[in-house]
Amino acid sequence: SLEAGYQRHLAAAIITVKTGSPAAYTMRTACLVFVLAAAKMNPIFASDFLVPGIYRLEAGSNLSAAERLQGRPGEEDVEHFEHAIPAAADATYAVVSYESDSHRNKLIFLVDRDYRTDINGANRLCVAYAFPVWNDYSKSQPFCRTNISTGEAMLKGSDSAFTVAWQPRRAFQRSEAVPPKRRPTPDEVGACALGVCEPAAYGRAIHHYETTYYADRFKLVTPRTYGDIVYLEKAVPVFAQADRASPVASLDAGSFVAVLASRPDWYEVEHVHRDGSAFHGWIDRDDLFELKWVEQKASTKDFRFRVGFRPDSDAPEAGVPVAIEVLDRRTGRRLQVLRDFDSEGQTADKEFLQVVDANFDGHRDISIFGMSGGAGPNNTTHFFLFDPVARQFVPNEELSNLPQISIDTRRHAVMSAQRGSCCSHSAQTFRYIDGKLTLVGEWDESLSADGKWLVTTTGHLENGRMRYRTKRKKAL
């Protein structure tokens, strides 16, 4: 049921919060409030997510897929059942992906190549949707939102079926007066004086309406392990293998591909045709969009680095960092590329990347700015630790999740801090013990709920256990 599905996702969200690092707890708790609000608002979120794969329109489903309006006494409806998929779209198949890390479905309808969305006309259906709570539609991110306003598509479903629908249209036609069948009794006269008139004695009015429902149901026909759907901003070559020596085709700008596997350098993809058949291949991620590569000032004895920025058309000097290139310091040959990290728009300068031995193993690691956290000081930094055996830089979630992080290379300590509100601040100190990042000190200061006390809690690692002491003093 929807409620059972909601409870499962609620439990999963709580576990995610509580099993995170102490420094990330405050930020994740705030995010949980937003997630739960989304769960209540979006029907797909509240139930199970859609299974990724290729879906087919059920013939005749428009006659039964719509949720009918509840009739009221004195009203009669003539009902019409239309397709939610516009005739111009001519879509029989849809493709769905499921991103397990972010718990998000993406969906594309395989429409006629000449179809164009028109939110003010009959062609309101978008080619692509992402849910839940996706509001970032743009030319470079053409996934529409759902279920927010009456003019937007409603997507409802779970597991292996979904329905796309529009708000029904109900139009008043006429009123019909039905004459009384007899005279009222004395009791009915009194009741009618109070506003309750017996129709058989006083007659009644019937209001006639025409209601048109718009709905179509799709069912899964080919399960696939699609982890994402990617929009191609420009024409992209497709290769038979993950190397540039095997080109087999080219996809036009404006196409969508479903991602079977993702690596920092290559996507394994399928391009699904309108008849439900799929073409398999590999896409070099360097081909997806133009990047501005900026050589970084920081380097090591073996490596140089470049950061790839997606240019901002409104601010040419700025961009969003989306890739890090690791180059052989002597030859300039690319040894590794790092992607799939979230970072806010920045000035595309030479000092964006930093080099630091973040885990104190004698090998220099790299870091770049992450996100501001939406609360001023609760910013994050992405860390990539050097693996001397593989000679690769590896993303490290533990350090990357710590807000306001600082690395004390002299004391071999990692510090983190965060602000929960105007009156709540905390900080933690970590050390690597037997190769594991371990909390060794904690401090928290907040105002009591009644505003009368300043409560300070400190904790220290003693004999393998954190021990805490709390003090209170009168607030000023």
pLDDT at 142: 84
pLDDT digits (tens, 9 = 90+) for 251-281: 999 999 999 999 999 999 999 999 999 999 9
Query: DSSP letter string over 233-263?
Result: SS-EEEESSSSTT-EEEEE-TT-EEEEEEE-
pLDDT at 448: 86
Strand partners, 427: 417, 443
Q: Which two tokens stand for residue 256?
A: 């969508």
* CA 188/CA 186 separation, integer angstroms: 5
Query: DSSP letter string over 350-413?
Result: TTSEEEE-TT-SSS-EEEEE---TTSSS---EEEEEEETTTTEEEE-HHHHTSTT-EEETTTTE
Mean pLDDT of the chain: 86
pLDDT at 120: 84
pLDDT at 346: 75
13, with CB counted inside 10 A (0-12, 13-18, 19+), is middle
CB 296 within 8 A of CB 269: no
pLDDT digits (tens, 9 = 90+) for 17-27: 333 433 333 33
Sign of torsion over alpha carbons 155, 156, 161, 165 = negative
Residue 15 confidence (pLDDT) above 80:
no
pLDDT digits (tens, 9 = 90+) for 102-147: 889 999 999 999 999 888 888 999 999 998 866 655 665 688 888 7
Residue 375's pLDDT band (cuts 50, 70, 90): low
Residue 476 confidence (pLDDT) above 80:
no
Residues of the chain with pLDDT > 90, as a percent, come to 64
Q: How many residues can be counted in the chain?
A: 476
User: Phi and psi dihedrals of 187, rounded to 5?
Assistant: -65, -40
Residue 441 confidence (pLDDT) above 90:
yes
pLDDT digits (tens, 9 = 90+) for 66-114: 988 888 888 888 999 999 999 999 999 999 999 988 889 999 999 999 9
Instruction: Choose the weakest-confidence range: 40-49, 50-59, 320-329.
Output: 40-49
Residue that wins the pLDDT comparison between 151 and 418: 418
User: Phi and psi dihedrals of 276, rounded to 5?
Assistant: 90, -5
pLDDT at 119: 82
pLDDT at 300: 96
pLDDT at 33: 36
Residue 45 confidence (pLDDT) above 50:
no
Radius of gyration of the chain (CA): 30
* CA 284/CA 199 separation, integer angstroms: 74
pLDDT at 436: 96
Per-residue pLDDT, averaged over 439-455, amounts to: 90
SS3 22: helix
DSSP 183: P
pLDDT at 289: 87
* CA 54/CA 304 separation, integer angstroms: 43
Residue type, 270: E
pLDDT at 210: 92
pLDDT at 320: 87
Global model pTM greater than 0.85: no
pLDDT at 27: 37
Query: DSSP letter string over 127-157?
Result: SEEEESS-----SSS--B--SSSTTS-EEEE
